[in-house]
Each structure stands twice: as C-alpha cells, then as structure tokens.
Structure 1
Amino acid sequence: MDILDPAALECLAALVDEGGFERAARRLSITQSAVSQRLRALETQVGQPLVVRSRPLRLTGSGQILLRYARQMQALHADVSRELGERGHTHERVPIAVNADSLATWVLPALQVLVDSGVSLELVVDDQDFTHEWLREGRVLGCVSTVSEALRGCRVTPLCVMRYVAVASPAFVGGQLGTAGLHRGNFAQLPFVVFNRKDDVQAQWVARAFGLPAPRLQQRFVPSAEAYVRAVALGWGIGVAAWPLVSRQVERGELQVLHPHVTIDIALHWHQWKLLGDAGIDSASGGRASLLDRIGAALASGARGLEPMLL
C-alpha cells in the first residue's frame, strides 16, 4: 500500500474527536468539502469505507485501524516537535483514558510535570473496566485500566492498587442503620450511591461482605467522583469509594467506614500503543523516552504515592 496522506489521517482523527464534519472542519481550519474530499481520497486509497455517516458518526473496522495509525502519527509528531525544541508550538493533543477515581485523586498531580513542559493532554474519563475499549478502538493512545494483559500492539505497566471501602454519613448510620448496622437482612432496603450504570463495585462489596452472588441494590446515581463523596456525606446512601477519595472525610468524622475488614482492591495498569519503531525505554543506551513513555513513567511515579494511603 502506498504511503497514506498525513492530512487525510489528520481529518479522520478530527472527525472522531469532534463527532462530525462541520466541527472537524472548524478544528482544521478548512471547509467541510475539503474534509469530505480528504476522507474519500483515503477510502479510495485503502479500498474500503472508513466511516459510517450516521449520527453519531461511527468508524468501520478499517477506520479503527487507520485511526490507531493516525494517533501514532500524532504522538510521533509531538515527540519530534519536542526534540526540536518547539515547546508549546505543537497543537497535537495526546488523548489518554483514565478512570474517575484516579483522576480525582492522583492523576492530575502525576501529570503536572508534563503539562509544565508544554504537553497538550486530552483526558477521557470512563470506568476503569472500560477504558481499554477506548484504546482498542484507537480513540486514545494510552489508558489506565484494570486489564492486566496487554492488547495486541500495546505495552502494559502495573501502576497501583486502589482500595475501596464502604462509607456512610454519621446521620445515615445513626438513622437508617441503627444499632443493628448494615447486615445481610437489610442491605436490599437501603440506598447505595453508584457512580454510573457501569459501576459495580458496590455490588462487589456487598457480595463479599455477606457472601451473596449478584446482589440487587437500591441505587442512586451520581456520576462525578467529588460529587459522589459529597452525596454520601449528605446522607444520600451508602457509598463504596476509593480510600484516597474519602480518607480525609473519615478522619474529620464526616464519614464512617462500614465493616472496615471488607475491602475491594482494584489493580490498575497503564496501557500504551507501541509507536512505530518503539522498543520501549532503554536507559542503558541513553535513548530518549517517547512522549507516551514519559506519560507512563509519570503515572507510575504518581501511583506509587498511593501506597502509604492504603488502609
């Protein structure tokens, strides 16, 4: 196959990022007609459709393959710009997917050094069990995920273990739980605060605490890590939250840990695409780390800071 047009690949990535032709054209400062022409030319070159022109716009299997290639080209362009000393002059955004609890606790401080050096990051938030789908589809170049096995064409690095505990407000404990506390006979009648419909850590905790397979819970959804903790502190229900997210509230007496001996430990890993010619960091040879390697190293360093915070 002939060399693919970088401008056409850029159009494909912009279409996915922006969700349509009009917004992609604005991002690239070209006309919608030019976006369509570049996409058609790319489809003609590979001999396959790449985009399903629907709402929302979707990629075909071939489109996902080329999107991964386009992402790699974006990351390589950012690396070259950095090595040439073009700090702040590249407009390439590096998309990575992270889970909300990590984003609310340790990810931002970990990535600060990269932001200070001029790296443009785009953080995509999803449940830790689903972030790797963003990577598989080529929508991001790296992700923080519970998946421990590397996807094809990727490298994986262990990060940390996030420990989850059950908590409730003192008013909720004194009012709705009473002297009997939370037990096998009353959990189904009590509300649990849940992040979103993908979040099953509350059910995992109940199953472990009371030896029940697939327990059914009364759920109240709050899809924000910070607002989630606030809702639990206000008495909306029982929460099962990452310890780094609630440790201060527990210390201040705003939340109480329920059944402290029952915890859910979730191991997180960093996945990244292997870029063209990428063999990983070779410190012995003195080679310079790629941008994705630097992101992975920063996240690994930040994650290590969580170890003293585990119960």
Structure 2
Amino acid sequence: MNDFDPAALECLAALADELGFERAAQRLSITQSAVSQRLRVLEGQVGQPLVVRSRPLRLTEAGKVLLRFARQLQAWRVDVARELGERVAPQSRLAIAVNADSLATWVLPALDELVQRGLREGYGLELVVDDQDFTHDGLREGAVLGCVTTVAEALQGCRVQPLGVMRYVAVVSPGFLASQLGGDALRGLHAGNFADMPFLVFNRKDDSQAQWISQAFGVRAPRLRERFVPSSEAYVTAAVMGWGVGVAPEIQVRRFVETGQLVVLRPDVGVDVALYWHQWQLQSRSALLDQIGQALADGARLALG
C-alpha cells in the first residue's frame, strides 16, 4: 500500500464522488487526461480495473477496496494538517452516512461545533443520507468513513459505539382521526381496517409502518396502501395535513402532538430502533473522525436518552 501514489488515490476518490472524469478533473483542478493517466497507473499496480467506465461511472470491487484506503488517507491528511496548525486543503472533506430521521432531529445540533470549527480550519464534512439499515453498506464499500446504522456488529478494521434507541410512533392529524378512524385514537385503527388506510412511507426501503402493524396487530408482512413522501420533514408535514397514518420518530413529532396538530395512535405501541456509530480506526492523536464519533454519541445521549 505504501507504493500507491497518493495523487492517484485522490483521483480515485474524486471519481467515486463525482461519478465521471470531467467533474473529477474539475474538482482536482487538473485535466481529464491527467485523471485517466493516474488511474491507469493505479490499475497497473493492482493488475485489474478499478472503475467501470459507464454513465454514471462505478467502481469495481477492487476499486472499492482501494477507495477505503484513499478515504483513510484523506482523513490522515486532515489530522496531520490540524496537528501542525496548517489550513486543510480546500477539497478535503470527511464523508459520513446518516439516516434521514436522525439528520432531521439530532445529528445537526450534535455536529454543529465541529462544523463551525471546520469553517475556520478548512476541512469539510459531507453527510450522505440513506436508510439506517443501509448506511453500513457505504462504510463497507469505502464511500464513507463512518456511519449511523442499525447494524450492531463491526466490520474488520472498524469500531462500533451504541448511540441509543429511537422510538417510532404512529400519528395522524385530528381531521384524519375524525373522518377515517371514528375519532378513537386507541381503537379506531384495528386489524379489520388498517389495510384500507393510507400509510405514509419514506421510500421503498422504509419498513417502519410494517413493523408498527406487526407490533400492534401481530400481522407479519402486511399489505398497506402506501403514499411515498421521501423527506423526513415533508413526511411529518404530510401527516399534519391529513395525508395518512405516519410512523415517525417520537422526538420529531413531539411538538406537533403537544400543540394538537397530531394525535398518537395506540400510545402503548412503538417501534424501538437501536442506533450505532461505526467508523474506521485511524491511528492519529487528534483524529477528527474520533471527534465526530464522540460528538454524535454525546448528541444522541441528550436527544434519545
């Protein structure tokens, strides 16, 4: 690994981020031919292709292995620059993956101090959003250096830290409750009518509604009338507007419940989702990645209890 050209690894990371040679060249302020040449040198060293030249460009399995190394090298550079008191290179950024609901609730306050410091020191933090059951894929493939996930077991070379439990509850607007559920928050939704009610769903990876139904009525793999709203904030807004039954984080809908804009169905039923922070282990006295992990752990403890 010590023989790999850092500039070539930087090109590989740029290609992974920008998904094309032209944009990667623009990001690195070099020509496309220089990007291609550096990539060819790297591919020659490993003896196999690292990217599939498609649109959009994608990495091969070997490319993903080297991308992990490139990401870690980027993080080490940031740490060394910070220890020496130097300003970090403008393109330097650390990518971490978080789930949309955590991003909409507790992640931004948890990271605010580090982001404000980054404005002064020059490094950037990139937040990659995916479902909490899938953020771990980005860590394994080298796309990110850390992730908030529901996966408890650490990858080799990584460490894991429990963050807490995010509880999901079912909510509806008062108007929906009155018109569709007979005004009864405890018994209005039941095993005989849930299949006829519209349920709000974040995306096709989201199964929190099915989990809630399973908890409430003991029905496995229920067939639901789905209305997709692929934004955590818009999802809650849709519930307030009466678009259907939403299953959302209790901490996100709490203020709407307190002001009467939403009503909790079956308060005794909830889906508890345990969250964990995973990160690659980097050997540095002032590892920024360690500080990110600690900030997330502190923020989750305050928000999730």
TM-aligned CA deviation for residue 10 of structure 1: 0.3
Q: Is residue 136 of structure 2 the alignment partner of residue 132 of structure 1?
A: yes
Matches of 2:181 and 2:296 in 1, distance apart?
39
- 2:265 alignment partner, one of 253, 258, 280: 258
| Offset at residue 89 of structure 1 (A) | 4.9
Please give the per-residue CA displacement for 1:97-117, whole angstroms capped at 9, x wherever unaligned: 000010011100100111121
* TM-score, normalised with respect to structure 2: 0.95
Q: Given the superposition, is the C-alpha separation of residues 289 and 84 from structure 1 closer, same or farther in structure 2, using an over 3 Å criterion?
A: closer
Q: Report how far residue 2 of structure 1 moved.
A: 5.8
- Any idea what SS the aligned residue of 2:95 has? strand
Q: Which residue of 2 aligns with 1:163?
A: 167
Q: Give the counterpart letter for 1:5 in structure 2.
A: D
**Quick one: distance in 1 between partners of 2:149 and 2:90?**
28
2:292 paired residue among 292, 295, 299: 295
User: Runs of 4+ in structure 1 displaced over 4 angstroms?
Assistant: 87-90
After superposition, residues 1-311 of structure 1 pair within 5 angstroms as: 3-87=3-87, 89-118=89-118, 119-179=123-183, 181-275=188-282, 277=283, 288-308=285-305
In structure 2, the CA distance between the partners of 1:78 and 1:2, relative to structure 1 (3 Å rule), is: closer
Letter in 2 for 1:194: V
CA distance in structure 2 between the partners assigned to 1:208 and 1:301 by the alignment: 30
Unpaired runs of 5+ residues, structure 1, are: 279-287
Give the 3 Å change call, closer, same or farther, for CA 89–37 of structure 1 in structure 2: closer
- Give, in whole Å, the separation in 1 of the partners of 2:88 and 2:235: 36
Q: Distance in 1 between matches of 2:281 and 2:88?
A: 24
| One-letter amino acid of the counterpart of residue 59, structure 1 | L
Distance across 1 between alignment mates of 2:241 and 2:36: 51
TM-score, normalised to structure 1, is: 0.93
Q: Structure 1: how far apart are the matches of 2:32 and 2:60?
A: 21
1:302: how far off?
Answer: 0.2
**Rounded Cα–Cα distance in structure 2 between residues aligned with 1:239 and 1:212:** 18
Give distance in 2, aligned partners of 1:89 and 1:17. 17
Distance 2:179 2:19 in 1: 48
Contact 2:96 2:126 in 1 (8 A): yes
Deviations 1:1-58 (A, max 9, x none): 6610000000000001001001000000111111101000100011111111112211
Q: CA deviation at 1:307?
A: 3.6
**Aligned 8 A contact 1:194 1:239 in 2:** yes
CA contact (8 A) 1:100 1:225 kept: yes
Structure 1 position 91, deviation (Å): 3.0
Deviation at 1:88, TM superposition (A): 5.5
Instruction: Write out per-residue CA displacement over residues 225-274 of structure 1, whole angstroms, 9 at most, x where no aligned residue.
Output: 10000000000000000011100000000000000000000000000012
**Deviation (angstroms), 1:124:** 0.3
For 2:253 and 2:286, the matched residues in 1 are separated by: 35
Specify whether residues 2 and 159 from structure 1 end up closer, same or farther in structure 2 by C-alpha distance, changes over 3 A only: closer
Give the alignment's Cα RMSD to 1 decimal.
Answer: 1.2
d(CA) in 1 for partners of 2:141, 2:107: 23
Number of residue equivalences: 298
Secondary structure of 1:8's aligned partner: helix
Q: Which residue of 2 aligns with 1:285?
A: none
Give a deviation string over 1:72-92, Cα, whole Å, max 9, x none.
000000101111112455531
Distance 1:93 1:62, change over 3 A: same
Taking the aligned partners of 2:78 and 2:204, their CA distance within structure 1 comes to 36
